[in-house]
Chains A and B, each alone.
Chain A
């Protein structure tokens, strides 16, 4: 019996949430300390898993844990990570850690940063969310994956509705919850159908995904059920035309929740779509990949264009997320080595990058009380460290060599080119548009002269904020300079998927 490290990573947040809820409401700093301590432990442990996988033999699933849960229906707690999920576990650790730092709050009445109102409940709900997210990434049991997936959906409603931006929070929170809930229950029907058919085919009724991969679903079954399952999960991945909830949700959410939402939750959708849709129904994936590619291609260009015309910083980042997640979906739709590899790296890279964007946007809003790009300016002098972070994030977003974005996007376009060169050409337009809006916003917000209204009101970011920005930048640069810390690992996961897709070799 190994050290149950994945269970600890997964269940630590919920334990911490329960403990926090028992702390008296006035003791805000104790609550924050518990939150930060938990986040640090989870970050260290998830880095441990990552490094452990990287230094090990990197084959298949590692850190396996298996406990029977409901044997009568073949449900078990079955945890394990492969080359694709291990980076995502690390990503969740990073975003959780930085999210807590950003939400720590500053008692300075001029800033009003972070979470001042009921931090106990805020951190508790945030950690329940983290519990669900970790659970999805490590679950190898379809029922438990679904269980955790739903857990990751409902705290978002409360987090956005209670602590969000007062103008749109009720609308955005309800819209987001309904979209995600519809998506998840549509896939639930598919999951149940897969369970029964797999049981009939093999005689073993189980939700174990490694068993279900060998269930031999008939092509017609896969053809029927692939779309509901894949698209149901991909709603959370922000796939066009079901992306509408996402920018509204980003804008209304408080900073840390935006970071979680764009940084991790959207990956949850793409990951579940990959794991359940493509890996369990590979023939269906081959038949429908053209449609996914079409949707993703539209998302990439359309998202970038809409981001370009936004004047609200958070809407801009929100639509750029749609565009970048479109790249992930585009990579998945290629079903070849390069595309899948790029999609995997892009999930990590975009998660870190967009968390950084939202963190900085939140810091600016806390101080300037506006997110309208034309009303901002001169931030590079007032908060140089945040400006530096935003610029690095921008370079990643544009896909500059030397940063993680390049490592991710280049293989995606290579993979797409092999399948359909025209899509690659059209999708690459988005790179130009992205460069345009990123450079514009950097110039306007950070380097234009500061408007008189804001003069003297802008205070530099706190030390905790700087730690958060520094952490996020570190990972983006690390992967950009030394891709070998992630790419070979991702490759093992991709090979596993390719084996399922093309059992006879390519």
Chain B
């Protein structure tokens, strides 16, 4: 019963659980001022877990384990590594957060959510899927509203909670329809049921629509994006970074597995094409709305929120392609995007920790106050724009390539026009950093010092963004290895 493979398939989750318990045990014994060190423990623990999982937990042939609840394959494994990386970085960024950094609970909630995301990436059963989505979401509701004394944070937590529960209820309704009509909850068995064609088109469409609501909320697809700007702005910045990267990537992991496996493309009936067109339209609307709304923003967190909506739209192009390259491009895009967006949020956090401000105009003169931070911000924003030699460029080209291959040239052209809009507002933000000066022109006496956790986290992220953009072969091969498992 308890085979080594079974052990390997949930090794990362076991490690996260051990780490969580360790924190629970250690934290009460540390004095208030030393509790910040829980962050070190979490980050180092997660990095170690990544290494241990890489050594002992690599999947070989895709198999279903734990009674068909979990699919043990490269796709899930690569996503797990990404989530754990994002979690480690978020822990580092949390450490010097004024309100949340010295509370052991925040790290524990982070780990709990991470556990849920890891399971999301490998769920092969609708029940498991729903449980893991809730495990990932509930700690995030709390984290978003973590700063009880701050109105915005409470509002963010509550808003996120309301939207989240509503959409997940609708999703569960879709799941129940699936069970009712197909008689199974296993995603891999669903494929046979759907391709056999016993279920009427209308039912299939309503199932997809209902389930999509839940996924769309997670990855902020228009029209389920309304929560994102308010929640990102209100919640503690490191949490917002985590929400916009790992949580979104987890949503895509689920979406890719669910749609690619349950609705196989190979001998697909025509309705797949109709469905793909709907999804393509959603992608086009998402990126256009995200980019257009990002244009007039004056608050950098809201700007990043809308830009992350737009990036969800670009990523959807890879899903729409319904091909192996499409799936690989989604995974690769998310890898680049996680590193890039965490870097962007990390910089916002480092800046506002010192200045307490996060409007664009407050960034004036930043390049003179801390040239290194400005350079890192440049890397992040250029990567978001999709400029080489940063990760965002290769990611975008691969996604667009998948789109052109699948015959969605019009969608790629819309994507390209959108990235032109992106150039404008990302460079506009950099203009404040490099071109404008502080009102008193006294940047020398207003430095922005970086604490050690920030320094480490931001440098790691910058290196990651450049590495993904220059040495793209290993990352792409991993993403591709995951995508192969779907076909």
Residues of A within 8 A of B371 (CB): 25, 121
Within 8 A of B (CB), among A168-205: 169-170, 174, 177-178, 181-182, 185-186, 188-189, 192-193, 195-196
Judge if B263 is at the interface, Cβ distance under 8 Å.
Answer: no
When the two chains form their complex, are residues A174 and B388 in contact, meaning their CB atoms are under 8 A apart?
no
Judge if B268 is at the interface, Cβ distance under 8 Å.
Answer: no
Judge if B404 is at the interface, Cβ distance under 8 Å.
Answer: yes
When the two chains form their complex, are residues A178 and B423 in contact, meaning their CB atoms are under 8 A apart?
yes
Given contacts A185-B420, A188-B400, A189-B412, contact A72 B480 (CB under 8 A): yes
Closest beta carbon of chain A to B127's beta carbon, Å: 36
Of the stretches B66-74, B129-137, B193-201, B424-432, the one at the interface is B424-432
Query: Looking at chain B, what size class is its interface with the partner chain?
Result: 35 or more
Docked complex Cα distance between A196 and B412 (Å): 14
Judge if B265 is at the interface, Cβ distance under 8 Å.
Answer: no
Judge if A382 is at the interface, Cβ distance under 8 Å.
Answer: no
Judge if B397 is at the interface, Cβ distance under 8 Å.
Answer: yes
When the two chains form their complex, are residues B387 and A150 in contact, meaning their CB atoms are under 8 A apart?
yes
Judge if B413 is at the interface, Cβ distance under 8 Å.
Answer: yes
Of B416, B430, B434, the residue contacting A189 (CB under 8 A) is B416
When the two chains form their complex, are residues B388 and A147 in contact, meaning their CB atoms are under 8 A apart?
yes
- Add 13 more A-B contacts to A118-B367, A147-B393, A196-B405 (CB < 8 A): A21-B375, A25-B371, A69-B473, A72-B480, A121-B371, A147-B388, A157-B430, A158-B378, A161-B435, A174-B424, A188-B397, A189-B412, A192-B397
Residues of B within 8 A of A181 (CB): 419-420, 423
Contact flags A379-400 to B (C-beta < 8 A → 1, else 0): 0000000000000000000000
Within 8 A of A (CB), among B379-437: 382, 385, 387-389, 393, 397-398, 400-401, 404-405, 409, 412-413, 416, 419-420, 423-424, 427-428, 430-431, 434-435
Of A21, A73, A146, A182, the residue contacting B476 (CB under 8 A) is A73
Residues of B within 8 A of A147 (CB): 388-389, 393
Judge if A478 is at the interface, Cβ distance under 8 Å.
Answer: no
Residues of B within 8 A of A185 (CB): 416, 419-420
When the two chains form their complex, are residues B434 and A162 in contact, meaning their CB atoms are under 8 A apart?
yes
When the two chains form their complex, are residues A151 and B400 in contact, meaning their CB atoms are under 8 A apart?
no
Of A21, A150, A189, the residue contacting B393 (CB under 8 A) is A150
Judge if A154 is at the interface, Cβ distance under 8 Å.
Answer: yes
When the two chains form their complex, are residues A192 and B420 in contact, meaning their CB atoms are under 8 A apart?
no
When the two chains form their complex, are residues B420 and A182 in contact, meaning their CB atoms are under 8 A apart?
yes
Question: Which B-chain residue is minimally distant from A132 (CB atoms)?
Answer: B388
What 5 pairs across the A-B complex have the smallest Cβ distances? A185-B416, A192-B404, A70-B473, A154-B387, A147-B388
Judge if A71 is at the interface, Cβ distance under 8 Å.
Answer: yes
Judge if B472 is at the interface, Cβ distance under 8 Å.
Answer: yes
Residues of B within 8 A of A148 (CB): 388
A: number of interface residues (CB 8 Å)? 37
Judge if B274 is at the interface, Cβ distance under 8 Å.
Answer: no
Question: Which A-chain residue is minimally distant from B404 (CB atoms)?
Answer: A192
Most buried by B among A185, A186, A193: A185
Docked complex Cα distance between A143 and B387 (Å): 13
Residues of B within 8 A of A146 (CB): 397
Residues of A within 8 A of B434 (CB): 158, 161-162
Residues of A within 8 A of B427 (CB): 157, 174, 177
Docked complex Cα distance between A174 and B477 (Å): 36
Residues of B within 8 A of A162 (CB): 434-435
When the two chains form their complex, are residues B401 and A192 in contact, meaning their CB atoms are under 8 A apart?
yes
Question: Which B-chain residue is minimally distant from A196 (CB atoms)?
Answer: B405
Docked complex Cα distance between A157 and B419 (Å): 16
Docked complex Cα distance between A71 and B435 (Å): 41
Closest beta carbon of chain A to B201's beta carbon, Å: 31
Residues of B within 8 A of A170 (CB): 431, 435
When the two chains form their complex, are residues B400 and A189 in contact, meaning their CB atoms are under 8 A apart?
yes
When the two chains form their complex, are residues A72 and B424 in contact, meaning their CB atoms are under 8 A apart?
no
- A residues sitting closer than 8 Å to B (CB atoms) are 21, 25, 68-73, 118, 121, 143, 146-148, 150-151, 153-154, 157-158, 161-162, 169-170, 174, 177-178, 181-182, 185-186, 188-189, 192-193, 195-196
When the two chains form their complex, are residues B435 and A150 in contact, meaning their CB atoms are under 8 A apart?
no
Closest beta carbon of chain B to A416's beta carbon, Å: 34
When the two chains form their complex, are residues B401 and A195 in contact, meaning their CB atoms are under 8 A apart?
yes
Of A68, A153, A189, the residue contacting B409 (CB under 8 A) is A189
Docked complex Cα distance between A441 and B476 (Å): 56
Q: Could you jot down 26 A-B contacts, CB within 8 Å? A: A21-B375, A25-B371, A69-B472, A70-B476, A72-B473, A73-B401, A73-B476, A151-B387, A151-B388, A153-B387, A154-B382, A154-B387, A170-B431, A170-B435, A174-B428, A177-B427, A178-B420, A178-B423, A178-B424, A182-B420, A185-B419, A189-B409, A192-B397, A192-B412, A196-B404, A196-B405
Question: Which B-chain residue is minimally distant from A181 (CB atoms)?
Answer: B423
Closest beta carbon of chain B to A233's beta carbon, Å: 15
Docked complex Cα distance between A153 and B367 (Å): 21
Question: Which B-chain residue is minimally distant from A154 (CB atoms)?
Answer: B387
Question: Which B-chain residue is minimally distant from A153 (CB atoms)?
Answer: B387
Residues of B within 8 A of A182 (CB): 420
Residues of A within 8 A of B428 (CB): 174
Closest beta carbon of chain A to B425's beta carbon, Å: 11
Closest beta carbon of chain B to A13's beta carbon, Å: 13
Closest beta carbon of chain A to B258's beta carbon, Å: 25
Question: Which A-chain residue is minimally distant from B403 (CB atoms)?
Answer: A192
Question: Which B-chain residue is minimally distant from A195 (CB atoms)?
Answer: B401
Residues of B within 8 A of A118 (CB): 367-368
Residues of A within 8 A of B393 (CB): 147, 150
Of B388, B420, B477, the residue contacting A150 (CB under 8 A) is B388
Closest beta carbon of chain B to A138's beta carbon, Å: 16
Docked complex Cα distance between A387 and B363 (Å): 44
Docked complex Cα distance between A275 and B368 (Å): 41
Closest beta carbon of chain B to A324's beta carbon, Å: 28
When the two chains form their complex, are residues B416 and A71 in contact, meaning their CB atoms are under 8 A apart?
no
Closest beta carbon of chain B to A127's beta carbon, Å: 13
Within 8 A of A (CB), among B425-475: 427-428, 430-431, 434-435, 472-473
Question: Which B-chain residue is minimally distant from A71 (CB atoms)?
Answer: B473
Residues of B within 8 A of A143 (CB): 397
Residues of B within 8 A of A150 (CB): 387-388, 393
Closest beta carbon of chain B to A73's beta carbon, Å: 7
Docked complex Cα distance between A188 and B430 (Å): 25
Question: Which B-chain residue is minimally distant from A146 (CB atoms)?
Answer: B397
Within 8 A of A (CB), among B110-141: none
Residues of B within 8 A of A21 (CB): 375
Closest beta carbon of chain B to A121's beta carbon, Å: 7
